[in-house]
Homo-oligomer: A and B are copies of this chain.
Amino acid sequence: MKESGRKQGALSPCAACKLLRRRCAEDCVFAPYFPPDEPHKFASVHKVFGASNVNKMLQELPEHQRRDAVSSMVYEANARVRDPVYGCVGAISSLQQQIHSLQTQLAAAQAEVVHMRMRQFSSSSNTGGAMDMAVDQANMGESLWSC
């Protein structure tokens, strides 16, 4: 079946209408976001969400939010195609683990700073200049906790 162009003079229907083998109307809701030269984008969202759901979700959004919605749906659909069990929830879980590991490393580094300050303070008390060191530590504390 030969598809007609999206508008007069346009050469191809959008990737969505091409895949769905339907006429690409001038006001096609998919056309602005699924150009004919990127067929894989629509193929993924169609496989995962279904064309009718994508259509419905786009119709329910104001036009200025549709591009972002399409990008996030394409991202989510690609993740689900790559990993049919966890989809992009797998990425969320791995990012949460990374956050946990960074929080542990940060706590260790901060504990090390506190430990060194105490050593520094006690050694400066023994060798004199304790007051200068205390002022110094207050400054360092400010830079540490403000980060």
Contact = CB atoms under 8 A, between A and B. Distances in A.
Interface of A: 47-50, 52-53, 57, 60-61, 65, 68-69, 71-73, 75-76, 80, 84-92, 95-96, 98-99, 102-106, 108-110, 112-113, 115-117, 119-120, 123-124, 127, 136, 140, 143-144, 147
A103 B57 CA distance: 36
9 closest residue pairs by CB, A with B: A108-B147, A109-B109, A72-B89, A102-B102, A95-B95, A50-B50, A127-B127, A106-B106, A69-B85
Interface centre among A99, A112, A144, by most B CB within 10 Å?
A: A112
**A-side interface mostly:** helix
A124 B108 CA distance: 24
Contacts of A127: 127
List the number of copies, as a whole number. 2
Contact of A109 (B47, B99, B144): B144
Contacts of A99: 95, 98-99, 102
A103 B76 CA distance: 26
A91 B95 CA distance: 10
Contacts of A73: 87
Given A72-B86, A76-B80, A76-B89, 9 more contacts: A48-B53, A65-B85, A72-B90, A88-B88, A105-B106, A106-B106, A108-B144, A109-B147, A120-B120
Contacts of A95: 92, 95-96, 99
